[in-house]
Amino acid sequence: MNNIVILTGAGISAESGLGTFRDAGGLWAQHRIEDVATPEGFARDPDLVHAFYNARRANAAGARPNAAHHALARLQREWRGSVTLITQNVDDLHEQGGSGDVMHMHGTLAGAVCGQCQHRWPAPQEMATDDTCPACHAPATRPDVVWFGEMPYDMDIIYDRLAMVDIFAAIGTSGQVYPAAGFVQEARRAGAHTVELNLESSGVGGLFDETRLGPASQSVPLWVTDLLSSQSTK
């Protein structure tokens, strides 16, 4: 029971003041996905997309990790086994909370990438349409985030880890977007114990062995304490 895989979503950052996507008043109630989170939307109106991500980058810059982020970093430090932390989030609150080796399957607000040559560099606080790539000088810079219709990052590694997982936890995600929403199925196929930590049961909630309802800042530290005390009795 040594390999843990954790998937986090926007809900783990909600108590740090960052909006979620599908809760009431969430980001997808304020913006159309096809306008700000697709390659077609970016091609149609790059200024709108840069403004969307510039605002999220500014919001994230003022956010601080909460007890859930800190608890996962503690688990990574103290668990006698492997802990794979996969996040759908593009903020850096896991890193700020002390986590290393965070797999950002949807990219990060902190990154910029060239649509022409794929060069990557740290994104400035404000990106603009007339920015040029520092490597090839093409006017084709975009936020290094994964849009709908694009392949998430690190999928090979993720599926390798899920094939050997003993405990799979999904924290603060609505289970609406694949491939992440399908990770629980992969974990069940590997024979893992699966746990969902959320305010309410998600779109794939019925597939989990265990559900821990409540705000992540309370449920995640409790879950980590239970895990660590279970290993010390072995």
Residues making up the binding site for NAD(+): 9-28, 88-91, 172-174, 216
Residue ranges of the annotated binding site for Zn(2+) are: 114, 117, 133, 136
C-beta separation of 183 from 162 below 8 A: yes
Structure tokens at 60: 């994230």
Structure tokens at 50: 């840069």
Single-letter residue type at 180: A
C-beta separation of 88 from 177 below 8 A: yes
Q: Is 108 in the site for ligand APR (CB under 6 A)?
A: no
Task: Choose, by CB under 6 A, the member of 4, 5, 7, 10 that binds ligand APR.
Answer: 10
Task: Choose, by CB under 6 A, the member of 3, 20, 108, 194 that binds ligand APR.
Answer: 20
Taking alpha carbons only, the member of 100, 88, 19 closest to residue 60 is 19
Site string for ligand APR, 194-223 (x = CB under 6 A): ----xxx-x------------xx-------
C-beta separation of 64 from 96 below 8 A: yes
Window 150-179: residues binding ligand APR (CB under 6 A): 172-174, 176-177
Q: Which helix (H) or strand (E) holds 12?
A: helix 11-14
CA separation for the pair 163, 25 (Å, rounded): 37
Peptide bond into 179 cis (omega under 30): yes
Catalytic, out of 50, 69, 106, 119: 106
Q: How far is the CB of 128 from ligand APR (least distance, A)?
A: 23
Q: Is 14 in the site for ligand APR (CB under 6 A)?
A: yes
Residue ranges of the annotated binding site are: 9-28, 53, 56, 88-91, 114, 117, 133, 136, 172-174, 216
Q: Is 106 in the site for ligand APR (CB under 6 A)?
A: yes
Taking alpha carbons only, the member of 168, 185, 180 closest to residue 1 is 168
Structure tokens at 178: 């694949």
The question of whether 106 is a catalytic residue gets the answer yes
Q: Report the interhelical angle of 67-78 vs 216-232 (nearest 10°).
A: 20
Q: How far is the CB of 30 from ligand APR (least distance, A)?
A: 12
Q: Is 94 in the site for ligand APR (CB under 6 A)?
A: no
Range in contact with ligand APR (rule: CB under 6 A) among 20-28, 39-47, 54-62, 118-126: 20-28
Q: How many CB atoms lie within 10 A of CB 70?
A: 20
Q: Is 31 in the site for ligand APR (CB under 6 A)?
A: no
Nearest residue (CB) to ligand APR, 63 versus 166: 63
Looking at the annotation, which residues are catalytic?
A: 106
Which residues contact ligand APR (rule: CB under 6 A)?
A: 9-11, 14-15, 20-23, 26, 88, 106, 172-174, 176-177, 198-200, 202, 215-216
